[in-house]
Amino acid sequence: MAVITRGFGGRRRDDTDLPPGQYRTDDFPVLSAGPTPRIGLDKWELAVVTEIGERSTWSWTEFTALPADETTVDIHCVTHWSKFGTRWRGVSVDTLLADVETSAEYVVAHCYGGYTTNIPLEDLIDGQAWVAYEFDGEPLAPVHGGPARLLVPHLYFWKSAKWLRALELRLDDEPGFWETAGYHNYGDPWREQRYRAD
């Protein structure tokens, strides 16, 4: 029998367009499993590596010269907060993969600082995912994943890896940092796929 603490307000869950178990926040909470990596833009590089080891790389100058999209999306963190109407600018993953030959079905996102997360390739293409470098009209802050982060808004936000360094295309699936520690392998917020057994 839980003890209810008189006068402690808690959260409100009165929004109808929230996935199950989420509450709405207007802040942008900073969650991190480690220290914030500081990557100078002159050293920064983004790579796409295929299943046979072919690498395509972009320097910061090359990357930010690619065609970019503005997108406004809702984001859903597995720790139960959702934030509506977040505005990003970034390069569609379709653009990064345009000249890449692959028969991979899976992707592992590798990050500065060592974080990894795995996502089916089909969830990153056809306009569903970006490598974002601006938030709300400003350069993406380091605590939120700058210089650039993955943005996959239809999955829980741990899949939108901060400080992205490389997308590794694979024939087999390779669970990432949270996926090997009890979290769901796919992470659909609308089906509340938080944990492995969900």
Partner 1 sequence: MARAAIPGGLTWRPATVAATRAETATARTLVLDVDGWTGHLPGQHVDIRLTAPDGYTAERSYSISSAPGPGRLEVTVQTVIDGEVSPYLVDVAGPGDQLEIRGPLGGWFVRRPADPRPALLIGGGSGVAPLVSMVRAATAPTRLLYSTRSPSDALFRADLAAAEAADDARVAVTHVYTRVAPPGWPTPPRRLDADALARVAWPHDADVVAFVCGPTAFVETVADLLVDIGHNPANIRTERFGPSRG
Partner 2 sequence: MSTTNVGADDPSWVDGNALAGPLGELMGTDLTVAELTCANCRTTRPLAAMRVFDRAPGLVARCPGCEDVVMRLVRTTERALIDLRGSLVVSFPLPNA
Cα separation, 69 vs 124, whole angstroms: 15
User: Which one of partner 1, partner 2, none is in contact with 42 (Cβ closer than 5 to 8 A by kind)?
Assistant: none
Query: How near is the Cβ of 27 to partner 1 at its closest, in Å?
Result: 9
Binding mask 22-51 toward partner 1 (x if CB under 8 A, else -) reads -x----------------------------
Spatial contact of 58 and 41, defined as CB atoms under 8 Å apart: no
CA dist., res. 131 & res. 47, Å (int):
12
Residues 55-84 within binding reach of partner 2 (CB under 8 A): 78-79
Pick between residue 14 and residue 172 the one whose CB is nearest to partner 1.
14
Examine residue 197 and tell whether it contacts partner 1 (CB under 8 A): no
Burial class (CB in 10 A: 0-12, 13-18, 19+), 169: buried
158: tokens are 């741990």
Which tokens hold the place of 16? 């109808």
Rounded Cα–Cα distance for residues 143 and 146 (Å): 7
Site for partner 1 in 97-116 (CB under 8 A): none
Q: Give the residues lining the site for partner 1 (CB under 8 A).
A: 1-11, 13, 23
Q: Give the residues lining the site for partner 2 (CB under 8 A).
A: 29-36, 78-79, 114, 141-143, 158, 178, 180-183, 194-198
